[in-house]
A = this chain, B = another copy of it.
Amino acid sequence: MKYQYGTVTKALVGELQAIVGKPNLMIDLERIENYSHDETSKEEYAHTPDLVLTPTSALQIAAIMKLATRERIPVTPRGAGSGLSGGAIPLFGGIVLSVEKMNKVLEIDEANLTVTAEAGIVTNELNEQLKSRGLFFAGYPMSLETCFLGGNIAENAGGGKAVKYGVTGRYILGMEVVTPQGDIVELGGKVTKDVSGYDLKQLYIGSEGTLGIITKATIKLLGVPKVASNLLVPFASAQEAIAVVPLIMKQGIIPTSIEFMDRSSIELTCSYLNESLPLEGVGAMLLIEIDGTDEQTVERELIQVGDLCSEQGAMEVYIAEDATTRERIWSVRRNIAEAIKVYSPIQSLEDVVVPIASIPLVLPRLEQLKAKYQVSIPCYGHAGDGNLHATIVKDPQMSLDDWKDLEPKLLSELYAFITGELGGKISGEHGIGLKRKGYLKAVTPPAEYQLFKALKAAFDPLYIMNPGKILD
């Protein structure tokens, strides 16, 4: 099916400018170039929009969507542009609608333990404002220093604490959404249970901006855990490290995080950060965090997990209790993606997720793929969730054409294995976006794919809302 979109005429630009005001409309190429891509590789995916709008209210967004509906202009919503699946790329041109100027905390409600904020607030900024009250939003992703709340919700982002706390969606009690038709809809509220009609809120969570634009959200807060402590556990081989993960999860202790980093991920990142970690003979490391309300309980659990790691062949078990050491280690973990990108900007950062007991089966297959396709695949990720960020890296020597030939073959093979033999999924937290939509179609049974299409058509019959994402 091919959709005909309208043209962004001079008259339309005038109407849009009347809605948002001159400072919130960008049309010159130099400025809008920044909005042509996200964190996927620019060479492969970038598209330039016709113009960029930075509205300051839901009312403005509603007016924009009414115009877009009238003229059939594609609209691509955008948060911080920190996405990893091309979700914010304006594939068919038209309007990029950035929520960057809608970045206020609207209410902190301590009696109900909620915060209401606009979609454009940086996630870390939100938690900074909550810190003095001893509260936090537990559902944030690893990119918290740059990403926006709206993007977190649209992608249902995971993150470093998901083993214990779950992902973004669990914490979203309410949201305001502007539909493709330009209606402003308030979903949910501050209640913690609700079965009054279809759960549209859950549907918008993770819908990647293809059903509407999230403009604000009400988030359930938790008290900041009084104690948190970390183990850094090196193993001689990656396989030994990953094999311990399901054993930890079966012990009855629920760690906050179990992160896995293979040797090449750590090496690239230490060199990028000018940091050093003890790496002699190390094949991979686990970074395990445990938090709680009670120091003794946390310590006991930490020792129990540490002992298990030792029994399973850990080379060493380092405890990082003080905040500085913890921050140093987590900084390595958080910067891996960036470090690999600096090494080779053309790459495919993967996000496969498998049942936890199957996670030891992923690495041997990655080894086979490395050998078969002669590429390096540094691997790290949220092992405690069964979620690994294997990163297929274009060797700086390889031509772009060769890469474009290799990438889909390797990915098809990997995804078939993950979704077939292991019962896993192709994306745990980064989303489908532009990058994986062909693969999603390939691995999704036709009846389910048909429901995806019916859903999209029901909410956005003109296909103007972030078209070309998730679905083909």
Contact = CB atoms under 8 A, between A and B. Distances in A.
Interface of A: 109-114, 155-156, 158, 162, 166-167, 170, 179, 183-187, 189-200, 202-203, 205-207, 223, 246, 249-250, 252, 293-294, 297, 353-357, 382, 385-387, 423-432, 436, 440, 443-445, 447-452, 454-459, 470
Contacts of A223: 252
A457 B294 CA distance: 51
Given A170-B170, A252-B293, A112 B206 contact: no
A387 B459 CA distance: 31
A261 B428 CA distance: 42
Contacts of A447: 179, 183-185
A357 B200 CA distance: 25
| Residue from A186, A355, A444, A457 whose CB has the most chain B CB atoms within 10 Å | A355
Contact of A199 (B198, B205, B423): B205
A195 B112 contact: no
Given A202-B203, A294-B297, A162 B193 contact: yes
A432 B297 CA distance: 43
9 contacts: A110-B250, A112-B356, A162-B192, A162-B193, A167-B193, A190-B355, A194-B427, A196-B444, A455-B458
Contacts of A156: 195, 199
Given A191-B355, A191-B386, A355-B112, A197 B459 contact: no
B202 A199 contact: yes
A187 B448 contact: yes
B427 A113 contact: no
Contacts of A199: 156, 202-203, 205-206
Contacts of A185: 445, 447-448, 451
A430 B194 CA distance: 9
B458 A457 contact: yes
A269 to B, nearest CB: 23
A184 B448 CA distance: 9
Contact of A193 (B113, B194, B428, B455): B428
Contacts of A426: 196
A385 B197 CA distance: 18
Closest 10 CB pairs of A and B: A458-B458, A111-B357, A183-B447, A190-B355, A202-B202, A193-B428, A454-B458, A196-B425, A194-B425, A223-B252
B452 A189 contact: no
Contact of A198 (B110, B249, B423, B470): B470
A361 B120 CA distance: 34
A192 B192 CA distance: 21
B423 A189 contact: yes
A200 B425 CA distance: 14
